[in-house]
Amino acid sequence: MKGSNEKAIVEQVEYAIELMDSIVEDSTVPRNIRKATEEARQKISGDIAQLDVNLSTAIYLMEDISNDINMPVHTRTEIWTIISELEAIREKAKG
């Protein structure tokens, strides 16, 4: 990762973390969904050198809960947004 590209990636990661925080802090979201979202958030908050692997893990966690039958509709939309953001970050980190 180059200097300006790395800065852009860090900013995108921070945005994804903010989106995840809104789900984790929403008491209307079932506990298992908040827990999985928190795990994904912790993954992408880790070492930037491991970001590619951590992003893949976070995407897997979010996709795994995206079809939960108990999920509020607005949360499902937020999760799809987070997955898209994480995939964009992963692509940018590769290039």
The CATH number that applies at residue 70 is 1.20.1440.50
The pLDDT of residue 48 is 77
Q: What pLDDT, on a 0 to 100 scale, did the predictor assign at position 1?
A: 45
Instruction: Quick: pLDDT tens for 39-85.
Output: 999 999 987 778 889 999 999 999 999 999 999 999 999 999 999 99
Number of domains in the chain: 1
Task: Tell me the residue range of the domain where 13 lies.
Answer: 3-94
Give pLDDT, residue 49.
79
Cβ-based neighbours of 78, under 8 Å, separated by 6 or more: 19, 22, 23
Nearest residue to 65 via CA among 54, 53, 55, 78: 78
What confidence score (pLDDT) does residue 2 get?
A: 55
Structure-block tokens of residue 49: 């050198």
pTM confidence score: 0.91
> Tell me: the pLDDT tens digits for 12-22?
999 999 999 99
